[in-house]
Homo-oligomer: A and B are copies of this chain.
Amino acid sequence: MDKELVFGHQKPDTDAITAAMAFSYFQNQLGYETEAVALGEPNSETQFALKKFGMKAPRVIETAANEVSKVMLVDHNEPQQSVKDIDQLTVTHLVDHHRIAGFDTAQPLWATLRPYGCVSTILTEMFREKHIEIPADLAGMMLSAIISDTLLLNSPTTTDHDREAIEYLAKVAGVEDYNKYGVELLKAGADVDSKSDADIVDGDAKTFELGGVKMRIGQVNAVELEDVFKRQDDLEKTMKSLMADNGYELFLLLATNILTSDSQLLVVGDSNLDKVEAAFGHKLGDNKRMDLPGVVSRKKQVVPPLTDAFEG
């Protein structure tokens, strides 16, 4: 059997890196020859977890077809989120928790998709079903990935499967108080002061077209929202420049307090502000912001009300 590479999406977060490591380990136990790689360097949160559990970051690749003909994808399936030469590769395996979009294959494949909060949760169940032991260090990384994706089980994307996996992994990893560790981990990823303006507004941003209006929606985690908004003038300049370059009519930045699970939304744009206000039932202040108490998930709590307001 030829060697295969296993990797998550571009701009990898803790789950994209960890799921590749975990699925590669899993497949090697089953007799495949695989190597976990990444489509980018680990972010500060992932680095914190790797250090804590004494693991090495996967090698970063630019292309894959120069090394292998077959690959296994985790935590993504849309081609534009994958390695840039994905069209030259055969995907033999997929483990994911996103919608399916633009993912066509020439041949049948192995795929396990579940609507859970985190791919590492799906993988935890796969290990347990096959009675394959998870090494303690890898369990620590998988625990970290679930904490990261679910904001310590506070995101509405969280399922009972994630809750059960986190309890199980904490035991295997020997983490006595995963709430305490979780706050440390999230804080490591929410160190706003170490991030550039572009990183804050666009590092985790996605483009949406709702009711014919092209908008960019970014999200940044922080321990104190003041750490974000003390730089608001500079952030707005970066947002306006990205809007001009890319034709976004609106740029929304969701700043999320990871300790309280509340957010503030900064909205930059000249039109359609009334629709954004209608979407959330709040007025924008003179500072162009609105409080969104209890909102932490762009996918579940921001995009759906915007879709209703712009397309309803």
Contact = CB atoms under 8 A, between A and B. Distances in A.
Contacts of A105: 99-101
B104 A100 contact: yes
Nearest to A125: B129
A97 B105 CA distance: 12
B113 A108 contact: yes
A106 interface: yes
Contacts of A55: none
B113 A106 contact: no
Interface residues of A, number: 22
A112 interface: yes
Given A110-B113, A112-B111, A115-B109, A100 B103 contact: yes
Contacts of A109: 99-100, 113, 115
A212 interface: no
Q: Which of A97, A108, A110, A115 has the most CB of B within 10 A?
A: A108
A96 to B, nearest CB: 8
A107 B113 contact: no
Interface string A72-97: 00000000000000000000001011
29 contacts: A94-B113, A96-B108, A98-B108, A99-B104, A99-B105, A99-B106, A99-B107, A99-B108, A99-B109, A100-B105, A100-B109, A100-B111, A101-B104, A101-B105, A102-B104, A103-B103, A108-B113, A108-B114, A108-B115, A109-B113, A110-B113, A110-B114, A110-B115, A111-B111, A111-B112, A111-B113, A112-B112, A112-B113, A129-B129
Interface of A: 94, 96-115, 129
